[in-house]
Amino acid sequence: MKRPTMSEITRAPAIEISGLRVYSPSRQILRDVCLAIPHGAVFALLGPSGAGKSTLLRCINRLIELSPGLRVQGDIRLMGRSIYAPGSDVDALRARVGILFQQPAVFPGSIKKNVLFGVRHLGKAPKRLWPEIAERALRDAALWVEVKDRMDDSALELSVGQRQRLCLARALAVEPEVLLLDEPTSALDPLSTEAIEESLRRLRGRRTLVMVTHDPRQARRLADRVACLQVRDGAGEIAESGSALSRID
């Protein structure tokens, strides 16, 4: 996928979802989702379990295609260009749209290998820059101080909270334009949650963040905009969206 020109960027929202519908073989999962997510925003998605929040997130980087049987209709534009257009490059899309899951998935290798995984895979930066890239990403994820003297140790020695920050650093290291976060702190203790929230706050304006959370207080602490999904007749749909967080308690 070609990078958009500057004028395309300034005209369009970072992400524009229009008439998005998702079906499983037996029923509709999401109904007519329309959302515009501005550049640099922290956008929170709330709603009950089963409303389709993860499904919606997985449509934005086309991970949904790894679930056999699910069918997607409608369109999603990233910086003004359809990600579902024929011929779009899914690997390039996933490099531009990173994702962080509820459970941190670290590999059995070293901390250094983990943080540089995407950078090596994509071959985007020369090897001499890797130490600098790793440090910056780990600093952005509030983990640098804890791991700087043990970069060659196994990532499996880290606590769950540290692992989630490592996953955040790994996602940030490839400098995605958009970061999707699916309940990123719900498996974490309060201190690790605070560390992740602080990192996300510092990313505001530099990246577009789309975060699923079940916690309205977390949305209030972090988000500029909120959309709430509800289930009606068995399918998830947008109940409301806007910037007034006081309305969604």
Query: Which of 12, 43, 54, 161 contacts Mg ion by CB under 5 A?
Result: 54
CB-CB contact of 15 with 25 (8 Å): no
CB-CB contact of 161 with 188 (8 Å): yes
Is 54 near ligand ADP (CB under 6 A)?
Answer: yes
Instruction: Quickly count: other Cβ atoms within 10 Å of residue 89's Cβ.
Output: 12
Q: CA 123 to CA 40: how far, in whole Å?
A: 26
Q: Residue 159 has what DSSP assignment? A: -
Query: Which of 29, 141, 178, 188 contacts ligand ADP by CB under 6 A?
Result: 29
Least Å from the CB of residue 46 to Mg ion: 11
Least Å from the CB of residue 96 to ligand ADP: 22
Which does residue 70 touch among ligand ADP, Mg ion, none (CB within 5 to 8 A, set by kind)?
Answer: ligand ADP
Q: Is 207 helix (H, G, I), strand (E, B) or coil?
A: strand
Least Å from the CB of residue 211 to ligand ADP: 12
Is 103 near ligand ADP (CB under 6 A)?
Answer: no
Q: CA 41 to CA 35: how far, in whole Å?
A: 13
Is 70 near ligand ADP (CB under 6 A)?
Answer: yes
- What residues make contact with ligand ADP under the rule CB under 6 A? 24, 29, 47, 49-55, 67, 69-70
